[in-house]
Structure 1
Amino acid sequence: MVEPDGLRETAIQWLIERTLDRQVSLTREDIADFRFQGEPFRLIPSYQGIWKPARFEATLSIVTTYRAPGQERPYNDALGEDGLHRYKWRGDNPNHPENVGLRRAMERQLPIMWFTGVGGKPPQYQVTAPVYIVNEERDRQQFVLAPLEDASEIPERGEGSEMVTALRRYMKRETVVRLHQPVFRSTVLVAYEDHCAVCNFAHSELLDAAHIVPDSEEEGVPDVTNGMALCKIHHAAFDRRFLGIRPTKDVPVVEIRQDLLDEVDGPMLRHGLQELHGKPLMKVPSRRADRPGTDKLVWAYERFLNATAADVA
């Protein structure tokens, strides 16, 4: 069949709405709910990483398989120095139909959908859409992806396909906002089963994926071991160093800054912060590989203690 007019745009808009503007992840069953003109239409590959429906000229969607921390993916996809993601060819034949499909999407400036595995049982996927293929690096057998809002943002591919410095900075920033932050959030929330680590609050719309070591620091990588699911108030308290997490051999322990413990206020302060002092985290990931890295907790706890010492002084 020839690709139906409007299918990509309809599917992308449906995914944006279904994921609450890309804030929540989806299972394959969720994705299978999509209908186009009243009929079911598959958006995600069954097994392979690249999905080009029969007789479509160009790729419709791609998948990045979830791997737990420390495990390698089947394809060595990676970030480039420009902050953009590289997606490997299928095999090493440039004329493999799946590689041709990606090339056609690039040449025709067609948006595709990117499903990134973030764990869970059944597996869940963070949706990034639209995504455009902005370049092909044939010597490295890979395509360059950018999470752009529309084709007008695609840079010109000139000699050597180099972007100007200002555009590179823009693309690096936008890639973090549109791709890495949502993937990090979904990965962390899946690991914590949509519960706040501190208070066990269980409404994903009011949960954040908090960096233990801020992403402004070199060690602040967007990895599940550098994240905790926290409700809005405990995320703010953690970032402002009103609340610290003390590493232990077992479950880390919550500590509240002394000046807040001494303060007398209403029930929010008493129940929301003071009564948590000295108690273990209420929720940690069931998989040890997903739990906070001890080195990251130590970094953040020392920062919390220094803030406490400065206030007491």
Structure 2
Amino acid sequence: MNWLALRTNDGADSLTTDEIKEFRFRGEPMPLMDMQRGIRKPAVLDAALSFRTVYRPEGLERPYEDSVGHDGLIRYKYRGTDPQHPENRALRVAMERRLPLIWFFGVGAAAYLPTYPVYLIREEPSQFQFVVDAVSDGVISSDSVLEGTLKRYITVETRRRLHQPIFRATVMRAYNTRCAVCALRHSQLLDAAHIVPDREEAGVAAIRNGLALCKIHHAAFDAHILGVRPDLVVEIRRDLLDEIDGPMLRHGLQERHGQRLMALPSARKERPDRDLLDLSYERFRTARPG
């Protein structure tokens, strides 16, 4: 997990399958993820080391559809329906020993976001699934009763710990880790911005509602200082165009006015949704200076 942290900007960036294969244990290759199966149990271990969820383009179903339960915790499906399948047994051993696991979540073709540590805290055999705790480091026991406040906390934290990083990694992959406005390529300085905020019904956590933006342009976008028209042209709020300040204002904002986005996904279906851009641009156009 320390090895993963060093290579993923502490869990913020995804890795390709080739990059995942680079891991060595005591000088020997040790695959962290099974490239053919969902669950990885090295022969030298008694328990599973990792499990994965394959990438699903929007509108397509995964072979195994994981879900969030009423308690806010993720359910990870068995391999098949046989509880005694070796891979399911390997997960059960990890659960019984409360061992930390790595969850590789697909964010593109041959691209995975590793989330770690996660723990399996109980099994639901009738639904052929395990319950995954990605928040509390396994301290929730299988017989604990979650109060309403704790349930809400778990739900919010699960969303933050899993869904938001997955959205970021998917957007970064689609935009080739470049700011859509200025083409900056430093991952640590980039965010995945929602075109329409995710708290709104239209604000889906999908690539078509995302823009890769550097932190300056993300803040400007959220503050309605910078807008993106449905035809993918950048606009800067009128009062800032007349303002005189330092080079950041001039080069970072004013000179981008009237320019097309500099980076876009190569796949057309992953490009910003025109209707969502239209909604966002109208809010930019009618916003009053703060």
Per the TM superposition, whether the score is higher than 0.5 is yes
- Aligned-pair distance for 1:155? 1.3
- Is this contact kept in 2: 1:16–1:129, CA < 8 A? no
Map of 2:37 onto structure 1: 48
Q: Work out the percentage of aligned pairs sharing the same amino acid.
A: 56
* Residue 55 to residue 205, structure 1, CA distance change in 2 (3 Å): closer
Larger mean CA deviation between 229-238 and 141-150 belongs to 141-150
Q: Is it true that 1:156 corresponds to 2:136 in the alignment?
A: no
- Aligned-pair distance for 1:33? 2.2
Query: TM-score, normalised on structure 2?
Result: 0.93
**Structure 2 CA distance, aligned partners of 1:194 and 1:259?**
31
- Indicate the SS of the match to 1:285: coil
Q: List per-residue Cα deviations over 1:186-208 (Å, max 9, x = no partner).
A: 11000000111111112222111
**Structure 2 CA distance, aligned partners of 1:245 and 1:15?**
35
**Structure 1 CA distance, aligned partners of 2:202 and 2:91?**
34
Query: TM-score, normalised on structure 1?
Result: 0.87
- Aligned-pair distance for 1:285? 0.5
- Aligned-pair distance for 1:25? 1.2
Q: Is it true that 1:14 corresponds to 2:3 in the alignment?
A: yes
- Indicate the SS of the match to 2:11: coil
**Structure 2 CA distance, aligned partners of 1:149 and 1:36?**
28
Equivalent position to 2:20, from 31, 34, 51: 31
Map of 1:8 onto structure 2: none
Map of 1:58 onto structure 2: 47
Q: Is it true that 1:136 corresponds to 2:123 in the alignment?
A: yes
Equivalent position to 1:117, from 95, 99, 106: 106
* Residue 164 to residue 156, structure 1, CA distance change in 2 (3 Å): farther
Aligned pairs, number: 290
Q: Is it true that 1:198 corresponds to 2:181 in the alignment?
A: yes
Amino acid of the structure 2 residue aligned with 1:168: K
Map of 2:234 onto structure 1: 254
- Is this contact kept in 1: 2:230–2:275, CA < 8 A? no
**Structure 1 CA distance, aligned partners of 2:9 and 2:264?**
25
- Indicate the SS of the match to 2:113: strand
- Indicate the SS of the match to 2:184: coil
- Is this contact kept in 1: 2:9–2:188, CA < 8 A? no
Map of 2:194 onto structure 1: 211
Q: Is it true that 1:221 corresponds to 2:208 in the alignment?
A: no
Q: List per-residue Cα deviations over 1:262-309 (Å, max 9, x = no partner).
A: 2122222122111211221111111112111223212211221221xx
Larger mean CA deviation between 275-284 and 31-40 belongs to 31-40
- Indicate the SS of the match to 1:148: coil
- Aligned-pair distance for 1:256? 0.9
Map of 2:133 onto structure 1: 146
Map of 2:169 onto structure 1: 186
Q: Is it true that 1:288 corresponds to 2:268 in the alignment?
A: yes
- Indicate the SS of the match to 2:104: strand
Larger mean CA deviation between 60-69 and 73-82 belongs to 73-82
